[in-house]
């Protein structure tokens, strides 16, 4: 009988791992939008080297618009309450502050000080080539899920344009904590600014494999006092 209990415990571990692997990202986007979580930590990328950000390959900080061999880039376009929420300017018009540009072959990694479940980002020139991948870095690198520009709800033009309706504020919540977000682009450029992030309202429970096994081991010990068909479980 002990053999069957062990199999049951291992099955529960496998089921728990499967739940993590199929965790979902829920998101909305709005032209002129703001973070959907009050009290979220904010990052405007206005420092020379923002601590939260690592740029690789064809990715860089920029102000204004520009062009290189890979194409053009334009700042996100402020409208609604976005600029005032982050203390940026102008209220309506192209972002006058520093922002992030990711071109084909480049990447921008945003790494957080603790596991988070909320992520907000101002995305300019929304199009299908924009990709945000959410990871949890622990004993292994777990890809929680990805969002592409083609999946972002309609509202912006969705064609990579540079006008007022081509910039949206994206709000994302995850059913599983994440510790970093990777921005990549398949095309000319992915421009973004004004990051917001937050943990859940309550403390995130530890869901490491060690914690799961420890809990299941205790569960197995408690089973030793149960009876199966009127007989004690074999020790």
Give the domains, in start order, of the chain with CATH numbers.
2-224 (2.60.120)
**Intervals of the chain under pLDDT 70:** 1-23, 139-140, 153-161, 201-235
Helix (H) or strand (E) holding 93: strand 93-94
Radius of gyration of the chain from its Cα atoms, rounded to whole angstroms: 22
At residue 17, the pLDDT reads 33
Q: Which pLDDT score, from 0 to 100, does residue 84 have?
A: 97
Q: By the 8 A CB rule, do 178 and 117 touch?
A: yes
Mean of per-residue pLDDT scores for the chain: 78
pLDDT at position 217 is 38
* Residues 59, 189: Cα–Cα separation, whole Å: 9
Query: What pLDDT, on a 0 to 100 scale, did the predictor assign at position 154?
Result: 55
Q: Which helix (H) or strand (E) holds 7?
A: helix 2-21
Contact between 226 and 233 under an 8 Å Cβ cutoff? The reply is yes
Instruction: Please report the sign of the dihedral spanned by the C-alpha atoms of residue 60, residue 66, residue 69, residue 70.
Output: positive
Q: What pLDDT digit, counting tens, does each position of 69-114 carry?
A: 888 999 999 999 999 999 999 999 999 999 999 999 999 999 999 9
Contact (Cβ atoms closer than 8 angstroms) between residue 138 and residue 204: no
């Amino acid at each position: 009988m002990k053999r069957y209990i062990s199999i049951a415990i291992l099955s529960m571990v496998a089921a728990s791992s499967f739940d993590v692997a199929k965790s979902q990202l829920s998101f909305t986007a709005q032209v002129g939008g703001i973070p959907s979580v009050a009290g979220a930590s904010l990052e405007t990328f206005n420092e020379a080297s923002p601590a939260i950000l690592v740029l690789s390959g064809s990715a860089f900080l920029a102000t204004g618009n520009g062009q290189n061999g890979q194409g053009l880039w334009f700042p996100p376009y402020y409208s609604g309450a976005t600029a005032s929420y982050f203390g940026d300017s102008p209220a309506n018009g192209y972002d006058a502050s520093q922002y992030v540009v990711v071109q084909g072959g480049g990447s921008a990694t945003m790494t957080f000080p603790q596991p988070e479940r909320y992520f907000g980002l101002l995305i300019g020139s929304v199009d299908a080539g924009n990709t945000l991948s959410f990871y949890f870095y622990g004993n292994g690198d777990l890809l929680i899920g990805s969002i592409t520009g083609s999946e972002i709800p309609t509202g912006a033009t969705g064609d990579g344009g540079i006008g007022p309706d081509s910039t949206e504020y994206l709000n994302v919540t995850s059913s599983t904590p994440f510790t970093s977000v990777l921005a990549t682009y398949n095309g000319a450029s992915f421009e973004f600014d004004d990051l917001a992030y937050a943990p859940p309202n309550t403390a995130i429970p530890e869901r490491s494999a060690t914690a799961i096994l420890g809990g299941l081991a205790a569960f197995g010990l408690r089973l030793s006092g149960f009876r199966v068909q009127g007989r004690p479980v074999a020790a």
